[in-house]
């Protein structure tokens, strides 16, 4: 049986469950068939998800347009991947927000909205993996993994359980910290994590906020790294806040206890966030178990009283006698491979770029990412088979 013929049967329960209502999900999707026919076909392969949606109330569906799905399926990564219904279900769940959000409710202030993606195979964030939502230049925009952005092209397609917004790009499910760092070209941090053997613990933990120094920050202490082997696990743990996912709107002047037991001081000065002396350059990089904020300095657990120089374009390292290595290379990167295809890490371009965190260019080396996003082949490759294209 062709998948295209399954949809009416798979969605029939929705029509029955919502009989007598103004417009059920089936009718709402059908009203946008010219834009959503590919998604409708894909839903036909997901009777379990369709059944769950038939029982749901108060939801917002972010529906990739035909062009969005076709653009992804044309990417090299999507063509060769084997189908995996479980992964496709996770992707579709990530496109369903908990709560009804009409286009007029979004502002320049970012919101981090939980989704129906709660499967611990793919996420370890309490309440469901988040999507960042805000307006940028007047357009409702959603940010997913690696700050990939998707813009609403048609909003407020209402139905009895909520509303649908049609978006111009498929959302990317946030990936584990090692994969995210590799894709973002934060290779020094990735190498340090591997050298300290803390990657598995960080990946398995629930609800993390991680402050990740960029390559330039590690390079600024390159002459010291050979002598940091014993201290490296504790140094890296000092960059991690466990048990609390702090997105930029949650960040205020405060002190936070880190995984190594020490405290970091958070300051918000003229709209810029500092962690001890380090400035947050790129906020809100979503990962499978929390969020990463990219900073411009390596934090020192033995130098916690240092304060930021807010007038300096670059800040000195928090380590005494620190400097670049003789060869000027990024430390910890021997044997570490970066992404094979890159694009600038996305940051908001609107007047509020993440709850009081200023935007920065990718010249700090904080940010090239894989064009098709981390894990794209594995996550989306099966769509082509299900859609019979």
pLDDT at 21: 44
d(CA 35, CA 70): 11
User: What is the pLDDT at residue 102?
Assistant: 98
Q: What is the mean pLDDT of each run of 10 residues along the chain (389 residues)?
A: 42 40 86 95 88 90 96 64 71 96 98 98 98 98 97 97 97 95 96 97 98 97 94 98 98 98 97 97 98 98 93 89 90 88 47 41 38 37 39
**d(C-alpha 181, C-alpha 287), whole Å:** 10
Question: Strand pairing of 290-295 and 208-213?
Answer: parallel
- Give the pLDDT score at 101: 98
The model's pTM is: 0.85
Domains in the chain (CATH in brackets) are 3-174+377-387 (2.30.180.10), 177-371 (2.30.180.10)
**Confidence at residue 30, expressed as pLDDT on a 0 to 100 scale:** 94
Q: What is the pLDDT of residue 54?
A: 80
CA distance 332 to 190: 8
Residue 290 CA to residue 360 CA, distance in Å, equals 22
- DSSP letter assigned to residue 264: E
Listed in order, strand segments (DSSP E) in the chain are: 59-64, 96-98, 111-114, 130-136, 139-143, 149-159, 162-167, 208-213, 240-242, 254-257, 263-269, 272-275, 278-287, 290-295
The pLDDT of residue 378 = 37
């Amino acid at each position: 049986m062709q998948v295209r013929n399954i949809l009416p049967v798979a969605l029939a329960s929705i029509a029955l469950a919502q009989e007598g209502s103004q417009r059920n999900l089936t009718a709402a999707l059908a009203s946008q068939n010219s834009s959503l026919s590919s998604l409708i076909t894909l839903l036909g392969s997901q009777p379990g998800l369709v059944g769950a949606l038939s029982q749901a109330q108060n939801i917002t569906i972010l529906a990739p347009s035909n062009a969005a799905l076709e653009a992804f399926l044309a990417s090299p990564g999507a063509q060769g991947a084997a189908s995996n219904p479980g992964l496709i279900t996770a992707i579709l769940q990530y496109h369903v927000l908990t709560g009804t959000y009409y286009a007029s409710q979004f502002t320049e202030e970012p919101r981090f909205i939980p989704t129906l993606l709660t499967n611990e195979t793919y996420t370890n964030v309490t309440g469901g993996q988040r999507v960042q939502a805000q307006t940028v230049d007047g357009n409702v925009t959603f940010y997913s993994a690696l700050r990939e952005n998707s813009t609403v092209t048609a909003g407020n397609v209402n139905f009895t359980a909520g509303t649908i917004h049609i978006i111009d790009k498929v959302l990317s499910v946030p990936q584990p910290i090692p994969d995210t760092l590799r894709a973002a070209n934060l290779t020094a941090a990735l190498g340090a994590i591997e050298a300290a053997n803390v990657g598995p613990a960080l990946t398995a933990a629930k609800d993390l906020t991680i402050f990740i120094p960029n390559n330039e920050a590690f390079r600024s202490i390159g002459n010291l790294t050979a002598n940091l082997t014993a201290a490296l696990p504790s140094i890296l743990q000092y960059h991690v806040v466990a048990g609390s996912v702090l997105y930029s709107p949650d960040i205020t002047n405060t002190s936070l206890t880190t995984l190594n037991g020490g405290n970091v001081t958070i300051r918000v000065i003229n709209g810029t966030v500092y962690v001890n002396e380090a400035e947050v350059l790129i906020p809100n990089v979503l990962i499978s178990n929390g969020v990463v904020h990219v900073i411009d300095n390596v934090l020192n657990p033995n130098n916690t009283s240092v304060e930021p120089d807010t007038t300096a374009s670059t800040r000195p390292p928090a380590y005494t006698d620190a400097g670049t290595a003789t060869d000027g290379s990024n430390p910890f990167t021997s044997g570490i491979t970066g992404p094979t295809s890159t694009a600038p890490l996305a940051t908001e371009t609107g007047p509020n770029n993440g709850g009081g965190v200023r935007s920065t260019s990718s010249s700090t080396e904080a940010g090239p990412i894989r064009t098709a996003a981390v894990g794209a082949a594995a996550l989306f490759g099966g769509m082509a088979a299900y859609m019979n294209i």
